[in-house]
Amino acid sequence: MNYHEQWIAFATLVVKEIRRFARIWQQTLLPPAITIALYFVIFGTLIGPRIGEMSGFSYMEFVVPGLIMLSVITNSFGNVVSSFFGNKFAGNIEEMLVSPMPNYVILLGFLTGGVARGLAVGAIVTVLSLFFTDLDIQHPLITISVIFLTSILFSLAGLVNAIYAENFDDITIIPTFILTPLTYLGGVFYSMSLLPEFWQGVSKLNPVLYMVNAFRYGFLGVSDIDVRWAFVMIVMFVVVLFIFSLRLLETGKNLRA
């Protein structure tokens, strides 16, 4: 397969993935928008004023970047894990496996689908946030690059989960017991400076903390951690997960007998 043919195969898979989540927008785009809007209302408008300032900003201003990041993480992960596992479960994955598409094209296709949904939901949530607060992005390049890399990272994580999953329970365990706690404890709703010193140290083991703080830095210009270190962490995770996912596809783990 030459590069032009590989590009066509890649574009075909990406269009299929985007068509999938767009077709079922009531399940993929609408629920996160409603959930995050409720967060804005409850935490931002109702409880926020009683909390006061956080890191020198109103609670609403503080929480918006975290909630955008929360929606991007869960939707990037959720899109790939449900789509890939659905393909595997129904046998459609064989359409790709019998074709001459290289494994990295399959990987990039699902990855792009996950990023597309993550960023689409992120964009919807960002627009919704404008009804509650003004957004003044301090470092646009950092903001965009962090959200993009984070979306890639969790799309890859979703793919790994989907490859290992053998039933529908397996694709809910990781989001419920790992992803949600990491995200909620990753500084979405609070500044790490509120925690006792010991728990600040523990929090630094949470990779989501680096993503949320780097993203918040892009918006507000404040962060609990060094943004450069955050970039190193995110890129390192992306590289490791990409190599690992590709290896899983090449060995045919849970895909080829």
Partner 1 sequence: MTNNIPALSIRGLRKVYGNSFEALKGIDLEVRAGDFFALLGPNGAGKSTTIGILCSLIQKSEGEVEIFGKNIDSQFSQAKKDIGVMPQEFNFNQFEKVLDIVVTQAGYYGLPRKLALSRAEKYLRKLGLWDKRNDRGRTLSGGMKRRLMIARALVHEPRLLILDEPTAGVDIELRRSLWEFLKEINEQGTTIILTTHYLEEAESLCRNIAIIDQGQIVENTTTKALLGQLNKEVFILDTKEALADFPLIEGYPAHAIDPHSFEVEVDKAQSLNELFVALSERGIHVVSMRNKANRLEELFISMTNQDAQSLDSRVATSDEGFAS
List of residues contacting partner 1 (CB under 8 A): 1-2, 4-6, 8-9, 11-13, 16, 19, 23, 87, 90-92, 94-102, 252, 256-257
Please report the DSSP string for 131-157 in residue order.
TTS----S-HHHHHHHHHHHHHHHHHH
Specify the residue, 95 or 226, whose C-beta has the smaller distance to partner 1: 95
57: phi > 0 → left, psi -120 to 50 → alpha, else beta; which?
beta
Q: To which residue do tokens 């899983």 refer?
A: 248
The kind and range of the H/E element at 53 are strand 53-54
Quote the crossing angle between the two packed helices 207-220 and 227-251, to the nearest 10°.
Answer: 130
Q: How far apart are CA 31 and CA 143, in angstroms?
A: 24
Closest distance between partner 1 and the C-beta of residue 80, in Å?
A: 16
Specify the residue, 101 or 149, whose C-beta has the smaller distance to partner 1: 101
Closest distance between partner 1 and the C-beta of residue 238, in Å?
A: 26
Specify the residue, 90 or 205, whose C-beta has the smaller distance to partner 1: 90
Closest distance between partner 1 and the C-beta of residue 223, in Å?
A: 43
Closest distance between partner 1 and the C-beta of residue 102, in Å?
A: 7
Specify the residue, 1 or 240, whose C-beta has the smaller distance to partner 1: 1
